Structure 1
């Protein structure tokens, strides 16, 4: 152990492992950082389900289902182009939708524009360390 942070981290892992082992039901854990999961956890897993990133067709379907009828997309919006251009997970897509919707509502707009959607995508990708030109 190199530091107090390491000791604290190991205590947290130990506590969580004990809680999981003592829990009488089914425990479901989710992470998008598989490489950061401690080996002590993976030894106790009965099943690991991996979800691949959605392809363009799947992203298109997700985009189509993600927006409210109360705040429709602007007429210039081409969701197929957005789906092809940006490789996003479903969770990131939902964050984008929330961000773009909030931006439109606070701007008192009646639609979500392509500019707002792409700005929300840019911000979400930036959180993941991906910078768009």
Structure 2
């Protein structure tokens, strides 16, 4: 039947520059659904010892299934980047780890979100497995103006001649976060 062919859970890829709301959106999804968001730092899960990464991942996913967490893999391109041609045993082992992680993600019954700054860094074979691919662009002039207008509470007295359009037209912040600049 159709139910047997459909994969469980839901997988989403969030991509865009730093500071555009990928992590915030994952957090808000958790709040809206009443689920905890578990942020996975892949550098702490991946081990140089053969077999340990798979054990770490198995523990993580087994616990997540019981807790019904939303899994949030930040900086996912660190592990889900373009796969390398197998040149030696280390490459083969790295590709096996990725294959195992992908298998666990596809079998997970909950929401899995992978976030990256550069969509092009994620292997296309992985990208095809997502039900949603969401771009988080840098805010444009109009969006920056709206953000600045909402930043100040009404009880704060601002200069009468404050030119909000000029504030919004200022160059995009270098760090990606609108909080890094001030008028």
**Structure number with higher relative contact order (C-alpha < 8 Å, ≥ 6 residues apart):** 2
Normalised by the length of structure 1, the TM-score is 0.49
Higher strand share: 2
TM-score of the aligned structures, taking structure 2 as reference length: 0.38
